[in-house]
Structure 1
Amino acid sequence: MRTLHSLDSDHAHALERTAKDSPTGQRHAQKHESAERHVSGTARYVDDLPLPKGALHLAIGMSEVAHGTLDTLDLNAVRAAPGVVCVLSATDIPGHQDVGPVFPGDPLLVSNVISHYGQALFVVAADSERAARQAARLAKMSVTPLPITLDPRVAAQQGDLVRPTHTQARLSNGRPADLESVTKALGKSVWQVEGELESGGQEHFYLESQAALALPGEDDEMLVHSSSQHPSEVQKLIAEVLGVPFHAVTVETRRMGGGFGGKETQAAPVACLAAMIARHTGRAARLRLPRGDDMHLTGKRHPFHHRYQFGVDDSGRVETAIITLTGDCGHSPDLSDAIVDRAMFHADNAYFLGNAYVRGIRARTNVASNTAFRGFGGPQGMLAVEAAMENIARQLGRDPLEIRKRNLYCEGRDTTHYGQHVNQHPLLATLIEQLEEEGHYWQRRAEIRAFNAKSPVVKKGLALTPVKFGISFTAKHLNQAGALVHIYTDGSVQVNHGGTEMGQGLHTKMIQVAARELGLSVDKVRITATRTDKVPNTSPTAASSGADLNGMATRDACLRLKARLLDFAAEHLAQPRTSLTLEAGELLSAGSVLMTWGELVQAAYIERISLSEKGFYATPDIHYDRERGTGHPFYYYAFGAALCEVVVDTLSGEYRLEGADILHDVGDSLNPAIDIGQIEGGFVQGMGWLTSEELKWNEDGRLLTDGPATYKIPAISDVPAGALRVQLLEGHPNSAASIYRSKAVGEPPLMLAMSVWAALRDALASISDYRHAVRLDTPATPERVMLAASVQREWLSEQSLHDQTSQSQPPHVQPHQVTP
Structure 2
Amino acid sequence: MPLRSESEHAAVALDVRPEDRPGVTPFQTRVVHTSRFHDSAARHVSGTAAYIDDVREPVGTLHVVPGYARQAAKGRIVGLDLAAVKAFPGVVAVLTAANVPGHNDISPSGFHDDPLLAETEIRFHGQPVFAVVAETREAARRAARLGRVDVEAETPIVTVDQAIASDRPDILPSYAFVRGDAEAAIAAAEPEAVVEGSILIGGQEHFYLEGQISLAVPGEDGEMHVFASTQHPSEVQHLVAHVLGLPNARVTAEVRRMGGAFGGKESQASQWAALAALAAHVTGRPAKVRLDRDDDMAMTGKRHDFRVNYRARIDAEGRLEAVIHDQFARCGHSVDLSIGICDRAMFHADNAYYYPEVAINSRRLKTDTVSNTAFRGFGGPQGVLAAERLMDEIALRTGRDPFDVRLANLYGEGERDETPYGMKVQQNLGREMMLRLAETSEYRARAAAIDAFNANSPFLRKGIAITPVKFGISFTLTHLNQAGALVHVYTDGSVHLNHGGTEMGQGLYVKVAQVVAEVFGISLDMVHITATTTAKVPNTSPTAASSGTDLNGMAALLAAQAIRDRMASHLANVHGGVPPESVVFADDHVVVGNERMTFAAAAKSSHAGKVGLSSTGYYATPDLVWDRSVAKGRPFYYFAWGVSCSEVTVDTLTGETRVDRVDVLHDVGRSLNPAIDIGQIEGGFVQGMGWLTTEELVYDAEGRLRTHAPSTYKIPTATDVPADFRVELYESGGNAVDTVYRSKAVGEPPLMLPISVFSAIGRAVGSLKPGAPVPLDAPATPEAVRRAVKALVDRA
Fold match by TM threshold 0.5: yes
1:64-463 matches, within 5 Å, as 64=70, 65-102=72-109, 103-157=111-165, 158-171=167-180, 181-190=181-190, 191-412=193-414, 413-425=416-428, 427-463=429-465
Q: Give, in angstroms, the shift of residue 167 of structure 1.
A: 0.6
Q: CA deviation at 1:641?
A: 0.4
Please tell me whether the aligned partners of residues 19 and 522 of structure 1 are also in contact (alpha carbons under 8 angstroms): no
Matched, 1:42 2:48: yes
Would the aligned equivalents of 2:69 and 2:149 in 1 still touch at CA under 8 Å? no
Output the CA distance in 1 between the equivalents of 2:308 and 2:5: 45
Does 1:755 find its partner at 2:756? yes
What letter matches 1:20 in structure 2? Answer: E
Letter in 1 for 2:2: A
1:15 equivalent in alignment to 2:18? no
C-alpha distance in 1, partners of 2:126/2:8? 52
Quick one: which of 595, 616, 619 aligns to 1:617? Answer: 619
Contact 2:680–2:746 (Cα < 8 Å) also in 1: yes
Aligned-pair CA distance for 1:520: 0.5
Query: Secondary structure of the residue that 1:777 maps to in structure 2?
Result: coil
Paired residue for 1:807?
none
Does structure 2 conserve the Cα–Cα contact (< 8 Å) formed by 1:182 and 1:320? yes
Q: CA deviation at 1:752?
A: 0.2
TM superposition shift of 1:732 = 3.7
Do the aligned residues in 1 keep the contact of 2:228 with 2:273 (CA within 8 Å)?
A: yes
Whole-angstrom CA distance in 2 between matches of 1:651 and 1:732: 48
Pick which of 270-279 and 149-158 moved more.
149-158
Does the 8 Å contact 1:481/1:550 carry over to 2?
yes
Q: Distance in 1 between matches of 2:448 and 2:4?
A: 39
Instruction: Give, in whole Å, the separation in 1 of the partners of 2:629 and 2:8.
Output: 54
Question: Is residue 726 from structure 1 mapped to residue 735 from structure 2 by the alignment?
Answer: no
How many residues align? The count is 771
Which residue of 2 is the match for residue 765 of structure 1?
Answer: 766
Q: Note if 1:483 corresponds to 2:488.
A: no
CA distance in 1, matches of 2:307, 2:437: 31
State the secondary structure of the residue aligned to 1:481. Answer: strand
2:25 is matched with none
- How big is the shift at 1:147? 2.6
Give 2:587's aligned residue: 584
Distance in structure 2 (CA, Å) of the matches to 1:668 and 1:153: 44
Letter paired with 1:91: A
Instruction: Determine which of 57, 60, 65 is the counterpart of 1:59.
Output: 65
CA distance in 1, matches of 2:755, 2:62: 46
1:639 matched residue in structure 2? 641
8 Å Cα contact 1:19-1:521 kept in structure 2: no
Task: Say which of 655, 658, 677 aligns to 2:657.
Answer: 655
8 A Cα contact 1:275 1:285, kept in partner? yes
CA contact (8 A) 1:14 1:672 kept: no
Distance 1:217 1:313 in 2: 69
Task: Give 3-state SS (helix, strand or coil) of 2:196's partner.
Answer: strand
Structure 1, residues 231-257: CA drift from partner, whole Å, max 9, x if none? 000000000100010000001000000
1:394-793 aligned at under 5 Å gives the runs 394-412=396-414, 413-425=416-428, 427-574=429-576, 575-589=578-592, 592-721=594-723, 723-768=724-769, 770-793=770-793
Spell out, residue by residue over 1:170-189, the C-alpha distance to the aligned partner (whole angstroms, 9 max, x if none). 13xxxxxxxxx321122344
How far apart are residue 159 of structure 1 and its match?
Answer: 4.0
AA partner of residue 114 (structure 1): I
> 578-587 or 232-241, which moves further after superposition?
578-587
Amino acid in structure 2 at the alignment position of 1:269: Q
Report the Cα distance in structure 1 between the residues aligned to 2:8 and 2:228, rounded to whole angstroms. 35
Deviations 1:596-615 (A, max 9, x none): 11111111111211110000
Once residues 14 and 451 of structure 1 are traced to their aligned partners in structure 2, the CA distance between those partners, rounded to angstroms, is: 38
- Is the 8 Å Cα contact of residues 17 and 29 (structure 1) preserved in structure 2? no
What secondary structure is seen at the aligned counterpart in 1 of 2:8?
coil
The aligned counterpart of 1:177 is none
Identity %: 51
Q: Distance in 1 between matches of 2:518 and 2:722?
A: 38
Return the letter of the residue paired with 1:588.
V
Q: Does the 8 Å contact 2:160/2:329 carry over to 1? A: yes
Query: Matches of 2:264 and 2:783 in 1, distance apart?
Result: 28
TM-score (norm 2): 0.96
Q: Which amino acid letter does the alignment assign opposite residue 582 of structure 2?
A: S
> Residues 350-397 of structure 1: CA distance to partner in whole angstroms, max 9, x if unpaired?
000110000111101111100000000000011221111111111111
Could you tell me whether the CA contact under 8 Å between 2:124 and 2:369 is conserved in 1?
yes
CA contact (8 A) 2:6 2:523 kept: no
Structure 2 residue matching 1:322: 3-state secondary structure: strand
Counterparts of 2:677 and 2:148, CA distance in 1: 51
SS in structure 2 of the partner of residue 276 of structure 1: helix
- The aligned amino acid for 1:422 is V
Letter in 2 for 1:509: K
Unpaired segments ≥5 residues, structure 2: 13-29
Q: Secondary structure at the match of 1:219?
A: helix
Tell whether the 8 Å contact from 1:99 to 1:107 is kept in structure 2 after alignment.
yes
Superposition RMSD in Å: 1.1
**Residues in 2 aligned to 1:678 and 1:411: alpha-carbon distance in whole angstroms:** 31
Secondary structure of the corresponding residue to residue 275 of structure 1: helix
d(CA) in 2 for partners of 1:111 and 1:791?
47
Maintained 8 Å contact 1:18/1:30: no
**What residue ranges of structure 1 are gaps of 5+ in the alignment?**
1-12, 172-180, 799-820
* Counterpart contact for 2:65–2:132, Cα < 8 Å: yes
> Within 2, Cα distance between the matches of 1:196 and 1:596?
65
SS of the aligned residue for 2:606 comes to helix
Cα offset, 1:88, TM superposition: 0.7
| Alpha-carbon shift at residue 651 of structure 1 (Å) | 1.3
User: How far off is 1:18 after superposition?
Assistant: 5.4
Aligned partners of 1:193, 1:593: CA distance in 2, in Å?
Answer: 73
What SS does the corresponding residue of 1:644 show, helix, strand or coil? strand
* Shift in Å, 1:638: 0.3
Q: Deviations over 1:248-271 (max 9, x none)?
A: 000100000000000000000000
Instruction: Give secondary structure in 1 for the equivalent of 2:528.
Output: strand
CA distance in 1, matches of 2:225, 2:487: 22
